[in-house]
Amino acid sequence: MTALLDVRGLAKSFGGLRAVDGLSFDVAEGEILGIIGPNGAGKTSAINLISGVIRPSEGRVRFRGAEVTGESPHALVARGLVRTFQATTVYRSRTVRENVVRGTYLCRYPGFFHGFLGTGAARRMAAESDRRVEEVLGMLGLTRVADAIASSLPYGLQKTLGMAIALGVEPRLMMLDEPAAGLSQEEANQIRDTIARVRARGISIVVIDHNMRFISDLCDRLVVMHVGKALAEGTPQQVLSDPAVIEAYLGKRHAPPPH
């Protein structure tokens, strides 16, 4: 079966620093894949390369069978590949509903002429946007706060709203950069359950996070990065008991002796 996302030999150098060094992995349809690793391992750089924020020095990225290496973020969003960032990226002075509306128009804006004149195409697009907004609000449990100003929401709900904006474009794959960062365990559990509901709608997910309980409860597979490379890959149980992974996180003296 062809992978939804196929990354091969991805690399990026910044001066003398090899931030990502020959990274390869794939993501299947409907899968939640976690990317973990110590600080400085290259996780966010890898997501930036895949999502078009920066161009790779080497390697290739295929999405839905098409070569997309180096395409712009906007072009990738149009293909159905979206990402969120570590910091919340919401329109703080707008309501929750207005935030999600903006997400639905990221790849569908009818153009100034249609919008100004209120043509049939613009009306159809507005109706489709309204439908999608209500669907996303319901999916993520935001209907009850739909008319609240984004800045008034607790931080955990602002994180959820960032996901809702990304879902507005009806993606096939979402890449989430530290969705549980800065959250209490209860809030992290709520985000975990929200992500699971998104996957239940047939959307594949790549997630980076440092919360091991969050990651191991959520993900089907993990890829461990260390100094820009893939160190290990497998189920959460396999990966988190791997001596090489324990050594990378905690140091050699914590790694179990070889059998």
Q: What is the CA radius of gyration of the chain?
A: 19
Band (168; pLDDT cuts 50, 70, 90): confident
87 by DSSP, 3-state: which? coil
152 by DSSP, 3-state: which? helix
- For residue 60, pLDDT over 60 is answered with yes
Phi-psi region of 3 (alpha: psi -120 to 50; beta: other; left: phi over 0): beta
Nearest partner of 192 among 218, 213, 166, judged by Cα? 218
Fold of 5-90+155-254: Rossmann fold (3.40.50)
Domain boundaries, the chain: 5-90+155-254
The whole-model pTM stands at: 0.86
- For residue 127, pLDDT over 80 is answered with no
The CA distance from 70 to 173, in Å, is: 17
Mean pLDDT of 48-64: 95
Question: Which residues, including other chains, have CB under 8 Å from residue 223's CB and lie 6 or more apart?
Answer: 25, 33, 34, 35, 36, 230, 232, 233
Angle CA(157)–CA(83)–CA(150) in degrees, nearest 5?
25
- For residue 117, pLDDT over 60 is answered with no
Give the β-pairing of 229-234 and 221-226: antiparallel
pLDDT of residue 121: 65
The CA distance from 54 to 70, in Å, is: 7
